[in-house]
A and B are shown apart, each in its own frame.
Chain A
Amino acid sequence: MTHRFLSQADLKALIAELVAAKTRVIAPVRAKDDPEQLDYLPIQSLEEATFGARIPRRSLKEFFLPTTEILLSYHQTKEGVTIKEVPTEHPPQVLFSATPCDAAGLDVVDKVMNWDYKDELWNGRRKAATIVSFLCSSMDATCFCTAVGLGPDSSRGSDVLLVPVEGGYLATILTEKGEALLQGKGKAEVPAAVQAAADAAQSEARKKVEANLATIPADFSEWLAKNFDHPLWKTISLRCHGCGACASICPTCHCFDIVDEHNSSSDGVRRRNWDSCQTSKFTLHASGHNPRGSQNERFRQRVEHKFSIYPTKFGDILCTGCGRCARVCPGGMDLPTLIGELMTLAKAEPAESKL
């Protein structure tokens, strides 16, 4: 891990250089329909972007697991079928001013995408992308990244972390990709005062978000597993519509559907599409049997998968504490508050199963 100091001009020049080299550059941009909001969009110059102002409305997920993604295309005639493969190599792109929660989300999902079969569609896009994250200081009451073991200066999933300081940015280079991106850019010597200022900014940011929700204890995952049949599941999600908006803007929700699509009588594609365990037919069998037939069970699955199953299988909470689910929910479900309530309940009723 090394550091460099980048001035505003250095950053502007870096982006101009990338754009000139036809590298796709993505950064937060003010939304057309609501200038108070930011969306991750392609930019041609630094001026188009707004760095570190607030969390963009949608996560980085769509750049790595597209909303709809072609798995293969086929050509079918009486003679047989030929399959045309999709590329797993992609042109390079650099994502600037990713929030640390969004960058970390990619790292968390890497685990399920590689635990046995390697998903080269996901991996190919990950390999081609360089992520430059930005210290988050725009947290609101809904953020809870520190509670899930991350933070506004988390380095997970990032290649470079930028911290704004007087005159520019302190860049912490975290990976070889980050090294390659910033080679020769800015200054290698970082004054001690700059380092101290960055440390202070990071510490202050962490304190702000820590105040929102206490760190989730290691045994919470076990408590959730043991309390699968707790009566609480019958009351906490009555207002949930099962719309799945939460899953769509979540940086770590990755569940998908696979469907075929005719484009003509002989040609078509097989796609994977975003899907969500919150929808009523997610687990519906052809026989008509549905193991999760009511929203109570479906919401339980969401909480169990994120805070119990994924930690058990992969060692990570399937959540980066970005708070988007709470901000977008039309039914007023509030996951961070709910997790806080569950943690309190777990303390009051430790370990034993409610069966």
Chain B
Amino acid sequence: MKELQDLARKLLTEGTVQVVIGYEEGPRTARPAFITDPEKAGNLIFDKRCVQNLASYLNPRRKQIVSLGKAAVVVKGCDARAVAGLLRENQILRENIVIIAVRCGGVLTDPESNAELTTETTSARCGNCDVREPKLFDYLIGELPPAPPVNPKRAEQIAALEKMTAAERWAFWSQELSRCIRCHACREACPMCFCVQCTAEKSTPLWIDPSATPRANRAWQTMRVLHQAGRCVDCLECERACPEHIPLGLLARYIADSVEKRFDYKTCDDPSVVAPMGIYRTDDDEEFIR
């Protein structure tokens, strides 16, 4: 993608940034790239296989990336929502990041397949997308492709969950979460899980047993998804990272839908829009917090 490559080359040569975080061709499929040498800017690509949410790499605790210097990051609309989240929550300063937003036509669930985008192959996250032309950027590049086909799977799964009684939903999630091995790959891949010390890592007091038991697994996953309420950008990195193939994206989506219903709020790419659980107001609807 020449426009992207030229821009990256320019930013690096002029010293505006010291690293461009984007995508490149890997041995298996598209993979994250950290371009520090302007000569390598030609490696940058962008297509339907670029599923990773590169905002994860902006976590200030990733010392090895921070040490590279000021970064430019390539984002799709959904990824831009994560960058907005990091800005909203003061993890990064706006002037310390250059945002290269790319107009997006959807991504695949399985990038290695390199299949055409169809209702079956398109990622579930593209279903409700209203940010194919991102609004948070320093540079907006690329042609706007046609909207991707909508994969009905997610809506079907949500509908199925909504039809269940509470007991049935408990049984469903207990079954799914029983496979969790507490590797926390979901947390590490998530751009919004940036806490220096996760609640699950705290030992004094011990909030959640660290072992992969049904009780502790339920506690861990529900705690994580509730901490993501109003913050999750539906990038599905958690689901992609999970080595046990637990439908974590479904759980996150379900919570996001609840937040939308109750608070009339969707995670957005405008950092100035405050998240419902992200602000304290003395006229809050809930008395316990006033």
B31 within 8 A of A: yes
CA distance A142 to B183 in the complex (A): 23
Interface residues of B in 223-269 (CB under 8 A from A): 237, 240-245, 247
B290 within 8 A of A: no
CA distance A328 to B213 in the complex (A): 23
CA distance A326 to B112 in the complex (A): 12
A293 within 8 A of B: yes
**Interface hub of A31, A243, A279 (most chain B Cβ within 10 A):** A243
| A307-340 to B contact mask, C-beta < 8 Å, 1/0 | 0000000000000000000111011101001000
Instruction: Decide if A245 touches B183 in the complex (CB within 8 Å).
Output: yes
Residues of B within 8 A of A72 (CB): none
Q: Which A-chain residue is minimally distant from B111 (CB atoms)?
A: A332
B181 vs chain A, min Cβ distance (A): 5
Instruction: Decide if B181 touches A274 in the complex (CB within 8 Å).
Output: yes
Instruction: Decide if B63 touches A241 in the complex (CB within 8 Å).
Output: no
Instruction: Decide if B52 touches A294 in the complex (CB within 8 Å).
Output: no
CA distance A279 to B30 in the complex (A): 24
Residues of B within 8 A of A239 (CB): 31-34, 57
Contact of B27 among A31, A241, A271, A334 (CB under 8 A): A334
CA distance A334 to B30 in the complex (A): 12
Contact of A33 among B26, B30, B245 (CB under 8 A): B245
Instruction: Decide if B189 touches A334 in the complex (CB within 8 Å).
Output: no
**Interface hub of A142, A294, A328, A330 (most chain B Cβ within 10 A):** A330
Given contacts A33-B245, A244-B185, A330-B241, contact A67 B32 (CB under 8 A): no
Instruction: Decide if A281 touches B241 in the complex (CB within 8 Å).
Output: no
Residues of A within 8 A of B242 (CB): 245
Instruction: Decide if B211 touches A273 in the complex (CB within 8 Å).
Output: yes
CA distance A326 to B29 in the complex (A): 11
Q: Which A-chain residue is minimally distant from B33 (CB atoms)?
A: A239
Residues of A within 8 A of B31 (CB): 239, 331-332, 334
Given contacts A238-B64, A241-B56, contact A279 B184 (CB under 8 A): yes
CA distance A239 to B237 in the complex (A): 14
Residues of B within 8 A of A331 (CB): 31-32, 52, 189
Instruction: Decide if A68 touches B212 in the complex (CB within 8 Å).
Output: yes
Tally the A-B contacts, defined by beta carbons under 8 Å.
114
A157 within 8 A of B: no
Instruction: Decide if A330 touches B210 in the complex (CB within 8 Å).
Output: no
| B29-70 to A contact mask, C-beta < 8 Å, 1/0 | 111111000000000000000001000110001111100100
B168 within 8 A of A: no
A248 within 8 A of B: yes
Q: Which B-chain residue is minimally distant from A325 (CB atoms)?
A: B243
A297 vs chain B, min Cβ distance (A): 9
CA distance A317 to B51 in the complex (A): 33
B138 within 8 A of A: no
Instruction: Decide if A244 touches B188 in the complex (CB within 8 Å).
Output: yes
Instruction: Decide if A273 touches B182 in the complex (CB within 8 Å).
Output: yes
CA distance A68 to B188 in the complex (A): 21
Given contacts A68-B212, A238-B64, A295-B64, contact A244 B184 (CB under 8 A): yes
A268 vs chain B, min Cβ distance (A): 10
B162 within 8 A of A: no
B28 within 8 A of A: yes
Instruction: Decide if B211 touches A326 in the complex (CB within 8 Å).
Output: no
Interface residues of B in 6-43 (CB under 8 A from A): 26-34
Instruction: Decide if A332 touches B212 in the complex (CB within 8 Å).
Output: no
A261 within 8 A of B: yes
Binding site for A on B (CB under 8 A): 26-34, 52, 56-57, 61-65, 68, 181-189, 201, 209-213, 237, 240-245, 247
Binding site for B on A (CB under 8 A): 31, 33-34, 57-58, 67-68, 142, 234-235, 237-239, 241-245, 247-249, 257, 259, 261, 271, 273-274, 276, 279-281, 293-296, 326-328, 330-332, 334, 337
Q: Would you list the 10 A-B pairs with minimal beta carbon distance, nearest first?
A: A332-B31, A243-B185, A243-B188, A330-B241, A245-B185, A239-B32, A294-B63, A337-B27, A68-B211, A245-B243
Some 22 contacts from A to B, beta carbons below 8 A apart, are A34-B245, A68-B213, A235-B34, A237-B64, A238-B32, A239-B32, A241-B185, A241-B188, A242-B188, A243-B184, A243-B241, A248-B185, A273-B210, A274-B182, A280-B61, A281-B201, A294-B64, A330-B240, A331-B189, A332-B28, A334-B26, A334-B28
Known pairs A242-B188, A293-B63, A334-B28 / 7 extra A-B pairs, C-beta < 8 Å? A34-B245, A67-B212, A234-B64, A235-B34, A238-B68, A274-B182, A332-B28
